[in-house]
Amino acid sequence: MPDATPVRRSSLRQQIADALRDEVLTGRLQAGRHFTVKEIAELYGVSATPVREALVDLAAQGLLDLEQHRGFQVRRFSHDDFRSMVEARTLLTDGIFQRTLVEGVREQDPAALASVRRRAEAAARAAVAGELDILIGHDMRFWREVTALCGNAHVVEFMDRIRAHTWVYSVPLLRRQPSVAGLCWSGHVELAMAMDEPDPHTVRRIIGEYHAHSLALMDKLARS
């Protein structure tokens, strides 16, 4: 278990959940890792109640499994799981861009699009530089903001869940590489620019390339 930063006493449940979620997404808490409520409570120096609530929240997000009489375990995802998640992500992404760009259901907020562009630039820089922890944070925020443009909070939550799961599977394979500089997809800026036009045809092409890249990369790393 990595060293923990002390957690403030306000909103303990959410803060603990956010901290542990970051540990899982970045692979510092690895798939299959077992731990108890008591262990986490002692780690952060807090009572058991907010820890138990935070762990239940993460289990509801599909990141942890509750083990009877043993505590919690970081969920393991198989390669078949990953391919299924990418398929689901593809279908969901197609629907989002159909709604926001092709059908023009709602006029996009310029401030929201500007924020998407900033996230895109930060994510692309991290991907090219091979800064995996930074990439994960900006990539998750980028797609959360992109999805939010469709105006449906349930879709945002579902997409965020799928993307978190794909990172949980991918990160251990990426960590085994000597360097991940230029290895992960870095087309965030190109996609943001196509959305800004808006150019649905180019958006579809970029999204297709993105999903194909994800599958090809993980297929290759899983085989090696």
**Residue 112: pLDDT above 80?**
yes
Tell which residue, 125, 218, 171, 180, has the closest CA to residue 21: 171
Q: Which helix (H) or strand (E) holds 57?
A: helix 48-60
Determine how β-strand 34-35 pairs with β-strand 71-74.
antiparallel
Is residue 123 within 8 A of residue 142, CB to CB? The reply is yes
- Where do we find the tokens 């990141």? 63
Taking only the tens place, the pLDDT of each residue in 10-28 is 488 999 999 999 999 999 9
Q: Which domains does the chain have, with CATH numbers?
A: 12-74 (1.10.10.10), 79-223 (1.20.120)
Whole-number Å distance between alpha carbons of 176 and 183: 13
In angstroms, how far is CA 122 from the centroid of its own chain? Answer: 15
Cα of first residue to Cα of last residue in the chain, in angstroms, is 27
Which residues are CB-contacts of 101 (< 8 A; sequence separation ≥ 6)? 195, 198, 200, 203
Q: What does DSSP assign to residue 162?
A: H
pTM to 2 decimals?
A: 0.88
Tell which residue, 149, 115, 132, has the closest CA to residue 185: 132
pLDDT band at 107 (very low <50, low <70, confident <90, very high): low
Is residue 81 within 8 A of residue 87, CB to CB? The reply is no
pLDDT score at 108: 65
pLDDT score at 223: 94
Taking only the tens place, the pLDDT of each residue in 37-83 is 999 999 889 999 999 999 999 999 999 999 877 789 999 999 999 99
Taking only the tens place, the pLDDT of each residue in 186-219 is 999 999 999 888 888 999 999 999 999 999 999 9
Whole-number Å distance between alpha carbons of 224 and 219: 9
pLDDT band at 87 (very low <50, low <70, confident <90, very high): very high
The DSSP bridge partners found for residue 34 are: 73
Taking only the tens place, the pLDDT of each residue in 119-135 is 999 999 999 999 999 99
**Residue 162: pLDDT above 70?**
yes
pLDDT band at 9 (very low <50, low <70, confident <90, very high): very low
